[in-house]
Structure 1
Amino acid sequence: MEKSQSSSPHTSPHDPNNQYDDVPPPPYHELEATEWSPLSRGDTGITHDGRIDIDLSSRLTKSLVKLVPNEDDQPTHDPSHRFTIQRAWNIRLNIVIQVVGSRGDVQPFIALGQELQKYGHRVRLATHNVFDSFVRESNLEFFPIGGDPKELMAYMVKNPGLIPSMKSLKEGDIQRKRTMISELLDGCWKSCVESDPQSEQPFVADAIIANPPSFAHIHCAQALGIPLHLMFTMPWSSTKAFPHPLANFKVGEIDPEKINHASYGIVEWLTWQGLGDVINKFRHSLDLEPVPTTVGPVLAEVLKIPFTYCWSPALVPKPMDWPSHIDVCGFFFRDPPPYNPPREIDAFLREGPPPVYIGFGSIVIEDPGKMTTSILEAVRMCGVRAIISKGWSNLGEGVSDTKDVLFIGDCPHEWLFQHVTAVVHHGGAGTAACGLRNACPTVVVPFFGDQPFWGEMIAAAGAGPKPVPHKLLTSQSLCEAISFCLAPEATTAARRICSQMVTENGVTAAVQSFHANLPFEAMHCDVTPNLPATWMYKKAPIKLSKLAAQTLIAKGVIGQNDITSHETNPVSIINTRWDPVTGVGSACTSIVSDMTSATKGMIVDPYTSIQHSTATTTITKNIATSTAKGIGKFNIALFKGTIVELPLAAAEGFRAIPKLYGEEVKQHEEVKDWSSGFRVAGKNFAHGMVDGVHGLVREPSEGLKSGGGLGLAKGVGKGTLGFLTKTTSAALGIVAYPGDGICKSIRHAAKSGTRKRIRIARMGEGDFLASKAHEEDMRVITKNFERLRGR
């Protein structure tokens, strides 16, 4: 039933008299890949939205399709359990939430931060400087990371599918974006280790929560050795159920489900091509090794980073092929802020039937005047009243309000959407959620990103028309879309979704998901169990918090040199080799890149030193120093590449070949230093030689038993191939693994600056906490430590 045009503007659509409030929500269920419609068919019906057209015949597509897991390889999980573990959490953490995006991207994380505070966590929200007051007014700690969200939004509107247009290239947008990403990466790192800008209270993160576009998250977590949890409002994890929201393809000869899965890798691959060098430069500043090109695009999935999606499972259920460390929790809603509407808004709502809301929030529209004209004409054609939000594009500039149209500034959607009959917006997840939560039929006018995805989902649920891309928006198409929303069928569908969403608490569920995926045993301090462990006592396996360690040092119980950093979640990035050909090829590419970079440095750096020098002696000295550094880097790249990287790639590639014909390959321990390198070399040599020789007998024998003469022939072939590959890997590994370990030991000793800075920052926070602690608490800490130490 359509909303009554005579109802009070202050009546919620889900009041006690609403018949749809009594409709029970459907049971939470997992999504079969074949259930998805329309996206499982690859037929989204969206054009001119800038998404990435996937060429099904390209080499990249065909390569990634081969990596799609088979049905037998799919993870299984119990649909009745939303989370991996349900447990109480009593460790108070320093949590930094890193968010890049618009106000709509930041707002859900404010709700999350407020919920985390209820568990005693200290929560810092790190985002763009312009959101300072927005965050602090919510009683959360704020840390500025730089970057201009308006510029980001403008870039995304012009390049919605990530691939830059010629106009953007000519206007220099790409270089500005890369410069901004560098600024954001640096800001995100500072948010993990620097004191509060206002109170100057020390802060070192114990855990990181981030949205994927912040990019720095995995690298900051690796440098600190702490847990990371990703949260986002759009699909970012490979699934056969539906394609990446930024991908566009037509069904061809390849199975659509496989293309859906591969589309995530393709989008990540293209993103890495544009930003990989910027990210590796950032990693260099943290004393981390560069991420290989073959690993960078799939880093989060390879490392199995926990992921929480903040949308309603009533709208998009969790796909069956997502593993247990990925959750779908529901939309994040903050507690509605106190709000008294301005007189003009209150009067407009009272003077007529409920209006339609039209607004595009943080979107920076290229021609706001033309958009305003189209909107006003559509409103007139539909014969409706409208509240139009000016937004960042300042819609309606120079246009006067009328009895049927009111232009407004910032106004909380939580309040406003209770008083409108339908909403028209860009399709941001937060705005879409708020509209559906208030039973508002919705028109989505997508510009970029996940907006077409949410428009399709709303249309599939019947709560709105097919999305109308902004480039195709006319007064006629907008009028038709609004008319669709005013029909009884759309109102009924919107109320049905609303009745399901009111039973969910996405923020509470997300915090449960976050806690469930934390490494509890590694995180708690043995002396103060309600605080996270940061240090390890060298003389006994006792984990210590910042407060406990500094208290014991202050009391003279232990010295500073008696403790070493404790990583609660160590991260190792391994460059997996599929075979010797691609392995060696990738290694050669990396070596040539390093040598080219060093050669460039030999030429460019001396010239740069001349520009920054005045005295002749200084110029000569700087030229000599710069040239020497360049030659040194060139020699290191050449030596390491030929003596370590090429043999290592070949050894790992030959070792992996038996996988190609179904044989399980024994995994070896990670090479972290010279000692582990020699251990791996010895074990790999012994296993390779013994198993290679044994296979010459075993494979023909088993083949004969199972397949007769033909099986014998196949067995001889497999045994011979196994002997050659395993013994070759064994021989190469004698040099490769120790060499790799020695290089890592040297690097660990030389690249210690970041570790030292982290140590100083953690001890500084410990000093601050100890200065605020009561004497009785310090006595308890000392007593507990002495008991654990056995004295």
Structure 2
Amino acid sequence: MGRPDRPNSSDAPELVWQHEYRDEGYGEAPPPAYELEAPDGSVPLKGRTGATEDGRLDIDLDSHLAKTLVHLVPSRKPLQAGDRMSRRFTVKKTWRIRLNIVIQVVGSRGDVQPFIALGQELKRKYGHRVRLATHNTFQDFVLESGLEFYPIGGDPKELMAYMVKNPGLIPSMKSLREGDIQRKRSMMSELLDGCWRSCIEADTNTGIPFTADAIIANPPSFAHIHCAQALGVPLHLMFTMPWSSTRAFPHPLANFKAGKMDPQTVNYASYGIVEWLTWQGLGDLINKWRSATLDLEPVPTSVGPSLAEALQVPFTYCWSPALVPKPLDWAAHIDVCGFFFRNAETYTPPRDIDDFLRAGPPPVYIGFGSIVIDDPEKMTNLILEAVHMCGVRAIISRGWSKLGGNLASSEKVLFIGDCPHEWLFEHVSAVVHHGGAGTAACGLRNACPTFIVPFFGDQPFWGKMVATAGAGPQPIHHQSLTSQNLADAINFCLLPTTMEAAQEISATMATEHGVEAAAHSFHANLPIETLQCDILPDRPAAWMYKKAPIKLCKLAAQILIERCVIEQKDLRLYSSSPIVISNERWDPVTSTFSAGTRVVSDMTTKTTGMFLDPFMELRRSQAINAAADANHSGTHQSGIKTAGRMAGASAKSFGKMYMGIVKGMVVDIPFAAAEGFRAVPKLYGEDVQNHGEVSDWKSGAAVAGRSFTHGISDGVSDLFVKPIQDGKKDGALGFVKGVGKGSLGFTSKTASAIIGLVAYPGQGICKSIRHAANSQTRRRVAAQRHWEGEFLAQSQGGDKAVEHVLYIFEGLRRATAPV
């Protein structure tokens, strides 16, 4: 491929293709992996990035946080071909289960559009019912595509304006002073609630009931994994920028200051650092929402940042492997499928666009879509001057910033409103835009040389990818853009070598089918064995029959209820993909200290409540009395009643504090110590037995029994087995090491076994009590599933369906009955 010369810059590392082909299903010549290399061609410098003005997070590798997180990076174990091969190439399933799928998307129109294409594929080819849950402003956009829409709230324009003002993860002092942070947190609370409602509430247009059987989401929606846990349904994440830890390249939102650490390790750690900082800003909000809305326990701080990665949630990346191949250290549950494009639709352009295109050579497209620019007039003048300097014709999209204001179009420049990029980019010579993945993909698909002016997020990343492929110049951040360097960039795009590179990328992308591949990836990662109804195998199970191990879908359950074969009380909610969040423990010291710190923090919060809650009751009473005076209603609260409420609030807070202390000292700290001692053998490379998860008092007792039996027996045997094993391997020195390992193993395993006799049953009892006390969400989900079952029975429960359900159920009940 022809590559135009580009000026070297220490702030703009080039990507060098390493010719190590791997069979990843891309054909006979799959795209190779790559690594960052210094401009002078010397030792690879993975992790070096551009100037900090691109808005990404500036990370000091010598800081205490960075060093701590880098040390937590697991040792590198190269994946075997079978472990790395994406499941859509290895899992062969004949899919016929029709699901209710909710796709949750937070972002701009460019973020929503790819998922419209995916939703159409899932509906058309697989027969799923697809609901796209996103911002209210995109309602018409979604409904016109033939998909269901659910509004989750949030203003994408406000989000875009905030991101332009605060492109990194750390907000500016200006944003703090102007209250942007609190507004963003309020919007995030709205989005979390909206995402949950999108999983269980009826269609807002038709009133048809809906409960999700599976969730697809982009990571910024944040609610996804928690909604999936509350429902017990499969989750699949999809995104247009790297979000999974890899040693191949750093997180797109991270910049690095100089350091002496291994570059590949730093790349891997950058994802954890970005996630950790994100959790610091939103973790309290998410945990409060989990507790108040979903009846779920808070996620531990040590687990929250890496939750999706620790649980190995399936992840599909929506970009072309010709542009960024799948890194060699991404496992089978992570896939790179290609860009998502909608099916071409017939489009008749307005007369002004049609006349302009016919009046001369193909123009250059310039637009920044949903970006909200601080000074659109200044940007407009800059663009017009650059276009004049180049002597080209240009189409300028006004976008959300209203570029051009009240200016009229001319022979050389046409200002336009909304126009489908899929059609427009077939008629332009080059594109200049903000670097959204969807816009970049559309330009390259149409062989348009591309110049990216990034504002925030992954836009600098895509700018460098396009430049590396030779299809455009190096990106220039919007704050550094001038009429001169914009004119230079446009001229660069129109060079024959640049146009040739864009044409070659377009030819490669023409062989990819991103939407189809992503749909295949989604189904390949679904647990078909646990998802399927035992009576109607083309429907997902929603209930478990309590009297026999029979999984029932909503329709089958309702038919059996209406025919008086079973009662509602015979059913319990079924989880096809249960999510268990456990706090990873490393050793008894850090685990006990962490638990103790949490107990002290809870005590402090509850102690504060003893004084704050009565004051809030007083304020509430004063507000009620003030409203009564204003309305002349005379419904004042007496002083005695107010005092009683204040005393009750204080007593309630005292009770919470007391119970928190008891639980912390009797359950939480011993449980952390038992888990910490159990994890000690990991420190010298021994695999630790998994005794199961504690979910209720029964499982707590069972885990305690297994932990005690294995802990005592393994601890005693370690005293004799370890010295012999290591002595055979390394002689006398190995024998001495074995004695040390055996002694440490005996101490840690027996300690875990003994402490666990109290800790695991105590933890189980607490979870059983919490489960019984917090059942509002489960009751709501059950009610919604019953309601949908009633609707399905009325619309689809014909005589043949009823006869089939009754016949199969009786057969299953007889087959599972005890002898």
Q: TM-score, normalised by structure 2?
A: 0.91
Distance 1:134 1:40, change over 3 A: farther
Residue 785 of structure 1, aligned match among 766, 789, 809 = 809
Answer yes or no: is 1:180 the counterpart of 2:187: yes
* Bigger mean CA deviation after superposition, 497-506 or 719-728: 719-728
- Which string of whole-angstrom CA distances, capped at 9 and with x for unpartnered residues, describes residues 45-90 of structure 1? 3441121112111222222222323333646436597534132210
State the distance in 2 between where 1:779 and 1:80 align.
42
- Report the equivalent of 2:23: none
- Report the equivalent of 2:361: 353
State the distance in 1 between where 2:131 and 2:87 align.
30
Q: 1:559 Cα deviation (Å)?
A: 1.2
Amino acid at match of 1:712: F
- Which string of whole-angstrom CA distances, capped at 9 and with x for unpartnered residues, describes residues 346-401 of structure 1? 11111111110000000001111111111111111111111000000001103221
Give SS of 1:684's match.
Answer: helix
Answer yes or no: is 1:414 the counterpart of 2:438: no
Answer yes or no: is 1:83 the counterpart of 2:106: no
Distance 1:779 1:505, change over 3 A: same
Residue 479 of structure 1, aligned match among 460, 480, 487 = 487
State the distance in 1 between where 2:411 and 2:700 align.
78
Give SS of 2:149's match.
Answer: strand
Q: Quick check: 1:25–1:499 contact (8 Å CA) kept in 2?
A: no
Answer yes or no: is 1:761 the counterpart of 2:766: no
State the distance in 1 between where 2:548 and 2:324 align.
50
- Report the equivalent of 1:711: 734
Structure 2: segments with no counterpart, 5+ residues? 5-25, 622-636
Residue pairs, 1:116-135, within 5 angstroms? 116-118=122-124, 119-135=126-142
Give SS of 2:157's match.
Answer: helix
- Report the equivalent of 1:217: 224
* Bigger mean CA deviation after superposition, 731-740 or 453-462: 731-740
Give SS of 1:418's match.
Answer: coil
Q: 1:36 Cα deviation (Å)?
A: 11
Give SS of 1:357's match.
Answer: strand
State the distance in 2 between where 1:733 and 1:80 align.
40
Amino acid at match of 1:781: V
State the distance in 2 between where 1:737 and 1:246 align.
41
Distance 1:544 1:648, change over 3 A: same
* Bigger mean CA deviation after superposition, 706-715 or 387-396: 706-715
State the distance in 1 between where 2:34 and 2:165 align.
35
Report the RMSD for the aligned CA atoms in angstroms: 1.9
Residue pairs, 1:73-112, within 5 angstroms? 74=79, 76-77=81-82, 83-112=89-118
Amino acid at match of 2:123: Q
State the distance in 2 between where 1:703 and 1:340 align.
77
Distance 1:571 1:67, change over 3 A: same
State the distance in 2 between where 1:709 and 1:394 align.
79
Distance 1:780 1:699, change over 3 A: closer
Residue 200 of structure 1, aligned match among 188, 197, 207 = 207
Q: Quick check: 2:599–2:661 contact (8 Å CA) kept in 1?
A: yes
Answer yes or no: is 1:168 the counterpart of 2:192: no
Answer yes or no: is 1:70 the counterpart of 2:60: no
Give SS of 2:425's match.
Answer: helix
- Report the equivalent of 1:150: 157
- Which string of whole-angstrom CA distances, capped at 9 and with x for unpartnered residues, describes residues 129-150 of structure 1? 0001110011110000000000
Answer yes or no: is 1:322 the counterpart of 2:330: yes
State the distance in 2 between where 1:573 and 1:348 align.
58
- Report the equivalent of 1:53: 58
Residue pairs, 1:665-744, within 5 angstroms? 665-744=688-767
Answer yes or no: is 1:625 the counterpart of 2:640: no
State the distance in 1 between where 2:507 and 2:45 align.
26
* Bigger mean CA deviation after superposition, 261-270 or 665-674: 665-674
Amino acid at match of 2:739: V
Q: 1:538 Cα deviation (Å)?
A: 1.7
- Report the equivalent of 1:5: none
Q: Quick check: 1:51–1:161 contact (8 Å CA) kept in 2?
A: yes
Residue 119 of structure 2, aligned match among 113, 117, 125 = 113
Answer yes or no: is 1:400 the counterpart of 2:405: no
Amino acid at match of 1:346: D
Q: Quick check: 1:364–1:393 contact (8 Å CA) kept in 2?
A: yes
- Which string of whole-angstrom CA distances, capped at 9 and with x for unpartnered residues, describes residues 492-532 of structure 1? 00000000001111111101001110010111111111111
Tell me the percent identity: 65
Distance 1:626 1:84, change over 3 A: farther
State the distance in 1 between where 2:721 and 2:36 align.
43
Q: 1:621 Cα deviation (Å)?
A: 2.6
Q: 1:26 Cα deviation (Å)?
A: 6.9
* Bigger mean CA deviation after superposition, 471-480 or 597-606: 597-606
Q: TM-score, normalised by structure 1?
A: 0.95
Q: Quick check: 2:705–2:757 contact (8 Å CA) kept in 1?
A: yes
Q: 1:786 Cα deviation (Å)?
A: 1.9
Answer yes or no: is 1:556 the counterpart of 2:564: yes
Amino acid at match of 1:294: S
State the distance in 2 between where 1:740 and 1:249 align.
42
State the distance in 1 between where 2:375 and 2:178 align.
17
Residue pairs, 1:239-638, within 5 angstroms? 239-250=246-257, 252-284=259-291, 285-613=293-621, 614-638=637-661
Amino acid at match of 1:543: K
Q: Quick check: 2:154–2:190 contact (8 Å CA) kept in 1?
A: yes
Amino acid at match of 2:355: A
- Report the equivalent of 1:7: none
- Report the equivalent of 1:11: none
- Report the equivalent of 1:13: none
Distance 1:81 1:785, change over 3 A: closer
Q: Quick check: 2:340–2:514 contact (8 Å CA) kept in 1?
A: yes
Q: Quick check: 2:33–2:328 contact (8 Å CA) kept in 1?
A: yes
Amino acid at match of 2:103: I
State the distance in 2 between where 1:382 and 1:39 align.
37
Q: Quick check: 2:36–2:47 contact (8 Å CA) kept in 1?
A: no
State the distance in 2 between where 1:373 and 1:35 align.
37
State the distance in 1 between where 2:38 and 2:343 align.
33
State the distance in 2 between where 1:73 and 1:287 align.
40
- Report the equivalent of 1:8: none
Give SS of 1:419's match.
Answer: coil
Q: Quick check: 2:52–2:58 contact (8 Å CA) kept in 1?
A: no
Give SS of 1:612's match.
Answer: helix
* Bigger mean CA deviation after superposition, 265-274 or 673-682: 673-682
Higher relative contact order (CA 8 A, sep 6+): 1
State the distance in 2 between where 1:73 and 1:289 align.
35
Q: Quick check: 1:308–1:513 contact (8 Å CA) kept in 2?
A: yes
Distance 1:700 1:787, change over 3 A: closer
State the distance in 1 between where 2:788 and 2:477 align.
50
Amino acid at match of 1:696: L
Give SS of 2:53's match.
Answer: coil
Residue 48 of structure 2, aligned match among 18, 43, 47 = 43
Answer yes or no: is 1:652 the counterpart of 2:657: no
State the distance in 2 between where 1:69 and 1:147 align.
38
* Bigger mean CA deviation after superposition, 633-642 or 363-372: 633-642
Q: 1:668 Cα deviation (Å)?
A: 1.3
State the distance in 2 between where 1:525 and 1:33 align.
47
State the distance in 2 between where 1:731 and 1:81 align.
42
Structure 1: segments with no counterpart, 5+ residues? 3-23
Amino acid at match of 1:339: Y
State the distance in 2 between where 1:32 and 1:463 align.
17
Amino acid at match of 1:643: V
State the distance in 2 between where 1:585 and 1:482 align.
59
Q: Quick check: 1:28–1:80 contact (8 Å CA) kept in 2?
A: no
State the distance in 1 between where 2:762 and 2:364 align.
68
Q: Quick check: 1:234–1:450 contact (8 Å CA) kept in 2?
A: yes
State the distance in 2 between where 1:250 and 1:242 align.
15
